[in-house]
Structure 1
C-alpha cells in the first residue's frame, strides 16, 4: 500500500460518520437547478475541484442548452445557477442567460472575474445588468500575493478592475437591485476563516483601498478533488487535510446541504446532485442519467451518493 493509500484510510468514511450520528443524506424538495456549462477557463486555479483551465474543451452545445431551457420552463426552479469553468467563455452563453432569466426569480452566474475584465465581455456585463443576474465572483483574498498564489500572476489587477466595472454599472452598490457576492477559498491546506470575520475584513479592505463595495462574502473549505487533491498528494498534506475536515464534521449542517435541494447538470446533460459529485464521478441516483430524459423532479427521500469529499461541505458552518 502506498503512502497516499495509507492516508486515504486514516479517516472515518463519510457514510459511517453520518450513520454514527443517526443521519442519512437524502434529497428534500428540489428547488434549484445548477448548470455546469463547461470546463474552459482562462485560469488554472490551484483549488479547482474540476481541473478547469485554458486547454479544456468541454462546453455545453446549443441542443443541451435548449434541453436546460425546456427543463426550466417545465419545473420553474426558485433559482438557477450557471457555473463552470468560466461561463463567459462558452459560445452561446448570452443565449442561455437571456432565455433562462424570465424562467426563474433568481438566475445566478459564477465568474472568476478575469473573464469579465476583457473587452469582449462588455456586452455580457450589460446583459447581466439588463436581466438582473445575480453575480457570484471568486476573490481569494484582499491582497495580490495571496490571490496570485492561488490563481496565477497578473490576476489581482484584473480582478480589481472587474469589480470596479461591476460597481460602475450598479452591481454591489447600496440601493441597487443588482446583487454582487464574493466567494473566498483558502490558498492552501487549511480551513477558511469564520465567514462573518472574513466578510468584515473584505468589506473594509476593498472599500478603503479601492472604493469597491459588494453585497455578501461566502467562505468555503476547498474540496479535496481534482487539482486541489493533486496538490495535497504532492505536498504530503492529504492525510492531514482530510483529518481536519473529518475532525470538524458538524452534523447540524447536513439538513441544509445544497445537494438536498438542487439538481446539477453538466455540459453534456448528465445529472448529478452537486458540482462536487460531478467532479468525483458520482451520478445522481447512482447511475448515469440525462436531463433530456427527466420526466419529473427527484422525490424527497431519494439517497444522495456520498464520498469523503463531502466532509468539505459539512465542516464548521458547512457549505449550504
Structure 2
C-alpha cells in the first residue's frame, strides 16, 4: 500500500484548493450541468461504443433480471461539494423529493416483492421525507440502506440521526475515499476526514459494526485519481488495520467503486485533458465477467420527481425508462412492468465493467 499512500501529492494539494472553492456545475453555469451535453461528449468521443463491446460477449439488448432493490435519489441538496460527485450535489441545490412522491414510493414497496430500499442523494438525510421513508419501509419489513456522507451526522439539526438509524436498524453505507486524511480531504473538503472519523465512532458506540450486532456499517472507497480501485479484499484489510490502529474504529465491509465519467468528475477529466486517457483505460480493462452482476440487472433508480431509470448514473444522464414516448413514473411501477425489460446503456457504462467491476454494492468480481 506504499504507492497508494504516496501517489499524487501535487494533485492532492491542487484538489484541496479546488474543493475549498468548489461550486456545483449548475451554480457556475457549466455546460455539463446539462445531461444531454454530458451524453453528447460520452457518445461522440473516439472510443469503441459500449454497445459494440458488449455485443462481443452477450446477445443484445441487455435484459433485466428479478428486481430486488429500489434505489431512490431523494434530491441534490448536500452539506458537502465533493470533487467526484456524479450527482452534482451541494448546498446550493434545491431539488427535493416531495411528500406525494415519497408516498408513491411507499405504495410501490407495499405491492412489490422488492426486499431493499436504498436511499441516496445528495445527503438523503436532509430531505424532509427521509425519516418517514425509513419508518414506513421498516414497517413493511424492507431492508433500508442509508448512503451517508457521515459529516451530516454531526451537523446542527441532525445530531440525533445516529440514534434514529440504529433504532430502525438502517444499514449505513458511508463514503470514506481513503484512510489517509490528506487524500480524503482532497476529494471531499478540508476537515471532512476528521468529522467522518468522529461520526463513525458515534455509530460504533451505538452498536454499528460491533461483534454480535446486526447493525451494518460499510465504507465506500473510490480512487482520488485516474486509477481503478485496487482489489477490494486487499484494500479492505488495509482499511481495517489502519482505521483500528489509528482511530480505534470499526466497519463491516469496504465497497470499492470506480469514478464514473459523469458530471463533476467528467468536468475534472476534461479540464485536465485526461478524458481520453481515462476512457481508454476503462475500455482496455473491460471485463465480461462483470456483466451478469451489473447492478442495473436487479436495481431500479427513482429520481426526486419519481421518474424511473435503470441506475443512478443513467438518472444523471436523463436516460429514462419509458413506455413508448411516455416516461415511467413510480406511481405506475409494478414488478411485472420491468420484467425482461431491455436496459439502456451508453459509454459511461464502461465504468461499471472495468477491472473487477463496480456497483453500489462494490466490486462485481470477487
What TM-score bracket applies, with the shorter chain setting the length? over 0.9
Q: Deviations over 1:89-113 (max 9, x none)?
A: 1113111111111224421110111
91, 110, 115: which one aligns with 1:78 = 115
Give yes or no for the alignment of 1:20 onto 2:59. Answer: no
Q: Deviations over 1:176-198 (max 9, x none)?
A: 11000000111122211111111
Q: Deviations over 1:17-46 (max 9, x none)?
A: 011223432111111101111110111111
Matched residue, 1:230: 267
Aligned counterparts, 1:105-184, within 5 A: 105-184=142-221
Matched residue, 1:9: 45
In the TM superposition, residue 299 of structure 1 has moved relative to its aligned partner by 4.0
Cα separation, partners in 2 of 1:173 and 1:20, compared to 1, 3 Å: same
Give yes or no for the alignment of 1:310 onto 2:349. Answer: yes
For 2:129 and 2:339, locate their aligned partners in 1 and report how far apart those are by CA, in whole Å: 34
CA contact (8 A) 1:77 1:104 kept: no
TM-score by length of 1: 0.95
For 1:5 and 1:105, locate their aligned partners in 2 and report how far apart those are by CA, in whole Å: 39
Q: Deviations over 1:66-102 (max 9, x none)?
A: 1101111110311110001101111131111111112
CA contact (8 A) 1:172 1:214 kept: yes
Give yes or no for the alignment of 1:99 onto 2:116. Answer: no
For 2:293 and 2:108, locate their aligned partners in 1 and report how far apart those are by CA, in whole Å: 24
Give yes or no for the alignment of 1:61 onto 2:101. Answer: no
Give yes or no for the alignment of 1:290 onto 2:317. Answer: no
Structure 2 unaligned runs (5+)? 1-39, 360-366
For 1:73 and 1:22, locate their aligned partners in 2 and report how far apart those are by CA, in whole Å: 35
Which SS does the other structure have where 2:229 is aligned? coil
Matched residue, 2:234: 197
Equivalenced residue count is 317
Give yes or no for the alignment of 1:207 onto 2:244. Answer: yes
Structure 1 unaligned runs (5+)? none
In the TM superposition, residue 123 of structure 1 has moved relative to its aligned partner by 2.5
CA RMSD of aligned residues (A): 1.7
For 2:79 and 2:338, locate their aligned partners in 1 and report how far apart those are by CA, in whole Å: 38
For 1:124 and 1:158, locate their aligned partners in 2 and report how far apart those are by CA, in whole Å: 15
In the TM superposition, residue 285 of structure 1 has moved relative to its aligned partner by 3.9
Matched residue, 1:219: 256
CA contact (8 A) 1:8 1:239 kept: no
CA contact (8 A) 2:75 2:96 kept: yes
